[in-house]
Structure 1
Amino acid sequence: MKTLVIVTHPNMDDSLINKRWMEALAQYPEKYTIHDLYKIYPDEKIDVIKEQELIESYDKIIFQFPFYWFSSPPLLKKWLDEVLTYGWAYGSKSGYKVGGKKIALAVSAGVNEEDYSATGEYKYTMEELTRPYELSFEYIKADYKGIFTYFGMEVNTTQEWVEKSVSMYLDFIDSL
Structure 2
Amino acid sequence: MKILVSTFHPHMEQSVVNKYFAEKLKDQPDITFRDMYKKYPDEIIDVEKEQRLCEEHDRLVFQFPLYWYSSPPLLKKWFDHVLLYDWAYGTNGTALRGKDFMVAITTGGPAEVYQAGGSNHYSISELLKPFQATSNFIGTNYRPPFVFYNTNAAREKQLAQGAEQYKQHIFKTDF
The normalised TM-score by structure 1 is: 0.95
The one-letter amino acid of 1:164's match is Q
| Aligned 1:13-92 pairs, distance under 5 A | 13-28=13-28, 30-92=29-91
Question: CA shift at 1:157, angstroms?
Answer: 2.9
Q: Does 1:167 align with 2:161?
A: no
Write out the 4+ residue segments of structure 1 that deviate beyond 6 Å after TM superposition.
none
Helix, strand or coil: the match of 2:103?
strand
Helix, strand or coil: the match of 1:146?
coil
| Aligned 1:83-162 pairs, distance under 5 A | 83-92=82-91, 94-154=92-152, 156-162=153-159
Question: CA shift at 1:27, angstroms?
Answer: 3.0
Distance 1:52 1:27 in 2: 22
- 5+ unaligned residues in a row in structure 2: which ranges? none
Identity of aligned residues (%): 40
Distance 2:96 2:74 in 1: 20
The one-letter amino acid of 2:172's match is S
The normalised TM-score by structure 2 is: 0.96
Distance 1:87 1:174 in 2: 29
Helix, strand or coil: the match of 2:143?
strand
Distance 1:123 1:96 in 2: 36
Distance 2:26 2:80 in 1: 28
User: Could you say what the CA RMSD is over the residues aligned between the two structures, in angstroms?
Assistant: 0.9
Aligned residues: 173
Question: CA shift at 1:100, angstroms?
Answer: 0.5
